[in-house]
Structure 1
Amino acid sequence: MPSASPALPVHIVWDWNGTLLDDLDHMVNAVNRCREAIGEPRVDAATYRQEHCLPIRLFHDRLCGRPVTDSEWDTVQRTFAEQMATRLPPMRTGVAALLFRIAEQGHTQSLLSLTADTQLRREVAQAHLDIFFRRIDGRYEPSTPKSEALRSHLAALGELDRRRVVLIGDTTDDAEAARTCGVRAVLHTGGFEPLEKLRTAGVPVVDSLRAAAQLAVEQPTRISEQPAIPNVVLGRDTRRHR
C-alpha cells in the first residue's frame, strides 16, 4: 500500500468468498458433498475453477454435463447449506492489517457477497472484520445476480462518486457486475477462477489482495477509461494459490 492517500478517497467494495476468504478448498469440498448426495463423482479444484460460473445451478449443470433435476437441486442446496453452516471462515493472511491500512489512509470500504446474508454476517463477525465496513450485504433472495446485488448495495451506500468506486473480486462475474453498475473492478488470481478466464474480463488482474488494493487507490480512472491491462498480471507471486 502507498504511504499517502490520493487527494480524493476511493471506496472499495470487497467480495467475500474467494477474495477476503481463502476458501477454495472449502468450496470444492462442499460441492463434492453435494455431488455425492446426488450420485455424481467428485471433482478436483482445477475442474471447479475452470467450470465455475453463476448462477450456481448452471455451475452444477456444467459439472454434471447435464441439467440437474429439481429434486437434485433441492438436495444440492440443502447439502451445501449444511456444509457452510458450521465452517469457520478461512481468512487470507494479512487481511485485517490490509483493511486497517486502507481505512487509515482515509478510504472507505464495504462488503458485498452472494453468500446468504445471515451466514455472511456470522462469518464477518467471527473474523472480527465488521468494524472496517460501512455496509455489509449478503444475498437476500435466491439466485440474485451479482450485478443486481451491487446496484442495490451502491444505492444503499448513498451518494458515491462512481468514478472512485472499485469492486475487488475473483471472478469474471464480479467484473461484469462492476461494468453494469458503472464502477471499476480489479480481479485477483487466488480465487475461484483461473488466470486465463480472468483475462477475458477486460479489467486489471493482479496476484494478491495487496496489489489489488494498491491499484484501486493509486489509479482512480474515469468510468469511460477502462484500464488497458487485462492481459497483464501485476505483482506476480510464485507461491501456489489455493
Structure 2
Amino acid sequence: MIDDILHFSGIEHVVFDWNGTLIDDIDLAVFAVNRCGEHFGVAPVTAEQYRARFDFPIAGFYASLGFDLDRVPFSVIVKHYLEHFDANVAQCPLQPGVIEFLDAARQLGIGVSILSASHCDVLVQTLRAKGLFDSFEHVVGLSHNQATSKTAEAVVLQKKLGTPASRTLFVGDTLHDFDVAQAVGWSPVLVSTGHQDYQRLQLSGAPLFSGLGNLLERFTHGHALLAKTGSA
C-alpha cells in the first residue's frame, strides 16, 4: 500500500500508450503479421508467440520471425501489414476499464494524453471513430510508419505538458514504453493486456498490472489515502 502512495503521489498527468494499452488490437495485429507471412513465405505465429517476441524497433521483430529484410525491405512488409491493419483497427474493442479510467482522471483533475508509435493520422482517425479524441489533452503519434521509437516524441510532449516529468505517469504495454518513460523521467506503469506477455514485462521491474481496471483500483485508492493523510 505504501508503494502505491509513493508511486502515485503528486501525479498531475497520465500519458497512455495506445495500441494494446487502450485498444485491444492483438488479434488484428497477429492476423496482419500472418497475412504478411503468407505473402512473403514466413511461417505463421500464434498470439502467444507474437507476444513473446514482439519488440522495438519493429523491423527487428519481423527479422526474429524469419522475414528476410535483405530480400524484402521492411518498408515493403510494413506497407502490406498496414493495408489490413489500418483499415480495420477502428473496429477493435477498447480494453476493459478505459472509459472508467478516463472518467476517474477527470474527477481527480488529472490530465490525460496519448503517445503512440502509430502514424498520427491513423491514430486520430481511430480515436474519432471511438468518440475519444476530445478526451485527451494531447494526441501524439509518429509522422511515419516505421515504428522505430517514441522517445523523441515523448521529449517534445513533456515540454508541452508544462509539469515536472516526475509528476507524469506513463502507462504502456511493452518494455519500450518502460524505456521511453525512463528516458524522459516519467513514472512507468505497465499492463499485461497488450503486445508483450507478463513474463517479459516483469523484466523491467516496473509496477505491473493485469489490466486497466486493476491499475485504476490501486491508483484511485492511492489518491484517496493521500487525500486523507494530506500528503498530496
Distance 1:120 1:155, change over 3 A: same
> Any unmatched runs of 5+ in structure 1?
1-5, 221-242
| Structure with the higher helix share, 1 or 2 | 2
> Greater relative contact order: 1 or 2 (C-alpha under 8 angstroms, separation 6 or more)?
2
- Secondary structure (helix, strand or coil) at the match of 2:113 reads strand
Within the alignment, does 1:137 sit opposite 2:140 as a pair?
yes
Within the alignment, does 1:16 sit opposite 2:18 as a pair?
yes
Question: Within 5 Å, which residues of 2 pair with 1:1-242?
Answer: 8=10, 10-64=12-66, 67-69=68-70, 71-87=72-88, 88-141=91-144, 142-157=146-161, 159-216=162-219
Aligned AA (2:83):
E
Instruction: Report the Cα distance in structure 2 between the residues aligned to 1:34 and 1:108, rounded to whole angstroms.
Output: 38
Instruction: Report the Cα distance in structure 1 between the residues aligned to 2:97 and 2:221, rounded to whole angstroms.
Output: 20
| Partners of 2:42 and 2:65 within 8 A in 1 | no
- Secondary structure (helix, strand or coil) at the match of 1:118 reads helix
User: What is the Cα-based RMSD across aligned positions, in Å?
Assistant: 2.1
Q: How far is 1:210 from its partner? A: 2.4
Deviation sequence 1:170-202 (CA, Å, 0-9, x none): 111100110111110100111111111101112
Distance 1:216 1:94, change over 3 A: closer
Deviation sequence 1:116-158 (CA, Å, 0-9, x none): 100000000111111211000111134441222211221233x
Aligned AA (1:83):
H
| Partners of 1:166 and 1:216 within 8 A in 2 | no
- Secondary structure (helix, strand or coil) at the match of 1:185 reads strand
% identical equivalent positions: 27
Q: How far is 1:92 from its partner? A: 1.6
| Partners of 2:169 and 2:188 within 8 A in 1 | yes
Aligned AA (2:153):
A
Taking structure 1 as the reference length, what is the TM-score of the superposition?
0.81
Aligned AA (1:198):
L
Distance 1:70 1:137, change over 3 A: farther
Instruction: Report the Cα distance in structure 2 between the residues aligned to 1:7 and 1:51, rounded to whole angstroms.
Output: 34
Instruction: Report the Cα distance in structure 2 between the residues aligned to 1:171 and 1:115, rounded to whole angstroms.
Output: 14
Taking structure 2 as the reference length, what is the TM-score of the superposition?
0.84
Distance 1:70 1:140, change over 3 A: farther
| Partners of 1:34 and 1:75 within 8 A in 2 | no
| Partners of 1:12 and 1:216 within 8 A in 2 | no
Distance 1:166 1:40, change over 3 A: same
Q: How many residues align?
A: 213
Q: How far is 1:10 from its partner? A: 2.1
Q: How far is 1:105 from its partner? A: 1.6
| Partners of 2:9 and 2:222 within 8 A in 1 | no
Deviation sequence 1:190-222 (CA, Å, 0-9, x none): 1111111101112100111123245456659xx
| Partners of 1:100 and 1:132 within 8 A in 2 | no
- Secondary structure (helix, strand or coil) at the match of 2:41 reads coil
Q: Which residue of 1 aligns with 2:229?
A: none
| Partners of 1:50 and 1:193 within 8 A in 2 | yes
